[in-house]
Amino acid sequence: MANTIEYNGYIGSIEYSPEDKCFFGKLEMIDDLVTFEATTAEELEINFHNAVDEYVETCKMLGRAPQKTYKGVFNVRIDPQLHKKIYQEALKAGLSLNAFIQKTLSKEVHGTT
């Protein structure tokens, strides 16, 4: 069981504080700090949804786009020899380096190509 919750493309972490007897969390994978808390699971889900909605509305009022999770672009530092080998395999497969890496990662994560 993952300790996360999802709503409108946002993911929130879920933790529990036995001392305070409450659940709490924050929106993950964005730079802004948005938190929520509750004493029941049902209330936590409602408060998470409200936190997301309020975050989006606040961004509108400030005239800036709300951050979304991941754009699909990232840099990876790897050994130069591995880089060369991956590029060779991409060429043999008739794929660009990006397409080969995406196919390989998809296969690893989803078990598909």
d(CA 33, CA 26): 7
Q: Which domain holds residue 35?
A: 4-62
- The total number of structural domains in the chain stands at 2
> Both 54 and 11 in a single domain?
yes
Assess contact for 89 and 100: CB atoms under 8 A: yes
> Both 85 and 55 in a single domain?
no
- Say which DSSP state 67 is in: P
d(CA 11, CA 61): 22
Give pLDDT tens digits for 57-98. 999 999 999 987 666 778 889 999 999 999 999 999 999 998
Q: Following CA atoms 34, 17, 43, 69 in sequence, which dihedral angle do they give, to the nearest 10 degrees?
A: 30
Give pLDDT tens digits for 6-39. 999 899 999 999 999 999 999 998 989 999 999 9
In a domain, 15, yes or no: yes
